[in-house]
Amino acid sequence: MILNPSRREFIKQTGSGVLALPALLSALSLDDQFHMPIGVCTSIDNAAIALEAGCSYLEEGVRRLLLPDQPDDEFRQKKEAADACGLPVRACNSFLPGSLKSTGPEADHEGVLRFAETAFRRAAEIGIEFIVFGSSGSRRIPEGFDREQAREQFLSL
């Protein structure tokens, strides 16, 4: 076991865990014991693998699936692929790009709201129930910027 793995080593180790997921779920009989849906954060392109592994839903990326900064035509193609992938997409993560600031001197709340309106509208069209804010690059407080002012900006947003 590598104690401080590189990104590549981490992905290799985690990937082997995903391959073992069907056996683990079968051994634990989670569906029979807990009646709990199990989801995975991945692209809709991996839905068949996730379904085979026993997952019941996907968590996609906002910008990868909902394409809030792209035209509706491109989103329609993604929506059709999501509808046909075999698993529901119940959540999305990685909400705001780091270039769209929610705090600091370059905060762009109007831009964030336009982006969010499109993302939320498209999420509703697909049936997505949750969007994970995350977005560390967007909410990161720039060095030297007043933390209380950043807090107020974020709360205001």
- Tell me the per-residue pLDDT of 24-71, one tens digit each, with 9 for 90 and over: 555 555 555 556 888 999 999 999 999 999 999 999 999 999 999 999
The full length of the chain comes to: 157
At 37 the pLDDT is 87
Does residue 9 carry a pLDDT above 90? no
CA separation for the pair 79, 68 (Å, rounded)? 12
Measuring CA to CA, which residue among 129, 151, 143 is closest to residue 37?
A: 129
Do 126 and 92 form a contact (C-beta atoms < 8 A)?
no
At 13 the pLDDT is 55
Dihedral of alpha carbons 11, 40, 47, 61, sign: negative
CA separation for the pair 108, 84 (Å, rounded)? 36
For the record, the structure tokens of 127 come out as 């049936």
Does residue 14 carry a pLDDT above 70? no
Do 98 and 115 form a contact (C-beta atoms < 8 A)?
no
List helix spans (H) across 36-71.
47-52
In degrees and rounded to multiples of 5, residue 120 shows phi and psi of -70, -40
CA separation for the pair 95, 19 (Å, rounded)? 28
Look up the pTM and report it: 0.75
